[in-house]
Each structure stands twice: as C-alpha cells, then as structure tokens.
Amino acid sequence: MDGFWAFELERRGAAEVVATDIPHSAAGDPLGGERRPGIGRGETFAVAAELLGSGADYRHANVYDLDPDELGKFDLVFMGYVLQMLRDPLRGLEAVRRVCRGSVIVLETVSGPLSLLPSPLARLDARRDGREWFVFNRRGLRKVLELARFQVEAESPILRDHAGPAVKEHGLPAATRALYALRLRGLSAAVRATSTSS
C-alpha cells in the first residue's frame, strides 16, 4: 500500500524489494466483480520512496496472479494483513508459493484467544463491517499455510495492536474500546513458513 513494510525490509538489508498491491483502495478483493473508484495506491508509495531514497520497486498486481516469470522468485515473501482481505486466502497463498523460493512471513489479525467456547479456525466477515473476508485464529492461520503446502517454522505470541495517532486523536466508541480491553479485538500473530514444494 504505502510501503511501510517494503521500506522496513529494505532498511534491514534486503538487496531487492518488490512491493505489490491492487491499484485502488476501494477495489476490494480483485477475485472478480466491479472496480470502484478509490485512492490510487502507489502514489503515496512513490512519494515516500523518493523522500527515503528507496530503491524498492512498486507494482500493481493481484495477489492471485503473482507470476515468477514476471516478478522472479524471492528468498523471503512478507504478507502484512493480506489474507483477511482475500475472498480466497488459500488461493492467495498458493500464488505466493509460486514466487517464494525460501520463507514466507504472514502477519495477520487473529481472533482473540479468550473465549468461553471453542472458536472456529476462521470466521467469515468477522467484524461485520465488510472490511475483511476472513479472520483466522492462530490454529487457523497455521492450517491455511499448511493447506497451501507451506511448513510452519515459527509462530509469534499474540501481538497486541496499538492505536495510531489518528485513532487516538478521534477516539474509539466505548464498545470498541471494551473489545480491545478484553483482547477480543486488536490482536495479531506472525507465522514464518517455508514452501514444501517448488
């Protein structure tokens, strides 16, 4: 999107960084259907890249269409909060595997660990606001990677998200604050895995 992860990976020593995203923020999952006007992605990436003196390469690309002949293969593929935006997260991971010759790190929102009842591996449209298709719990995130033929190497503990300056400035409704306080929302997990087949 705006390049945060790309620039951070470059800062940490990546020799080559190729960032991909769909062209418009309002396009939603590009599996099919209409394209709606939205903020053009890549514009803010270009400004940030120039200010940082970055050599990262930004491309408009649908995750389902990642092609090693066009993009190449990478030692590390990083996916930051992508799976929850996909109607078909398994298909998205299979496409990522095509361009991954090493490891993938998947950072995702996860459903809360505190529950009186067993929770499903994934919830469809978990927040009921249309921003996400699926939200996995930690077991579900591991399972979808395994189904896409990745071998999980390491998992982070549950990470607690912190509100950025815009959220702090405008505040959150009391009900939303309560969900965050109870650790039912605002949680993430990271998983590192390697491809089990070429």
Mean local confidence (pLDDT), 90-95: 96
Regarding whether 89 and 178 lie in a shared domain, the answer is yes
Q: Indicate the range of 4-13, 96-105, 125-134 predicted with least confidence.
A: 125-134
Domain identity same for 69 and 95: yes
Give me the pLDDT at residue 129, please. 60
- Domain stops at, among 61, 81, 100: 61
| Type of residue at 180 | Y
122 and 133 both lie in a single domain = yes
Asked whether residue 27 carries a pLDDT value surpassing 70, the answer given is no
101 and 183 both lie in a single domain: yes
Asked whether the predicted pLDDT for residue 36 surpasses 50, the reply is: no
53 lies in which domain range? 1-61
How many independent structural domains does the chain possess?
Answer: 2
Q: Are residues 48 and 76 in the same domain?
A: no
Are residues 72 and 50 both part of a single domain? no
Pair 72, 146 in one domain: yes
* Residue % of the chain over a pLDDT of 70: 71
* CATH number where 130 lies: 3.40.50.150
35, pLDDT greater than 60: no
Which of 61, 84, 111 finishes a domain?
61
Whether residue 85 is predicted with pLDDT greater than 80 in this model: the reply is yes
Please tell me the distance from the alpha carbon of residue 30 to that of residue 53, in angstroms, as a whole number: 31
Residue 169 and residue 132 in one domain: yes
Backbone angle region of 62, left / alpha / beta, with phi > 0 → left and psi within -120 to 50 → alpha:
beta
- Tell me, yes or no, whether 52 and 70 share the same domain: no
Question: Is 50 exceeded by the pLDDT of residue 34?
Answer: no
Please provide the average confidence, as pLDDT, over all residues in the chain.
Answer: 81
pLDDT digits (tens, 9 = 90+) for 170-192: 677 777 667 666 666 678 889 99
Which residue stretches of 53-186 are H helix? Answer: 68-71, 89-98, 138-147, 165-170, 174-181
Percentage of the chain surpassing pLDDT 90?
A: 46
Are residues 43 and 133 both part of a single domain?
no
Model pLDDT, residue 104: 97
Dist. CA 65–CA 92, nearest whole Å: 9
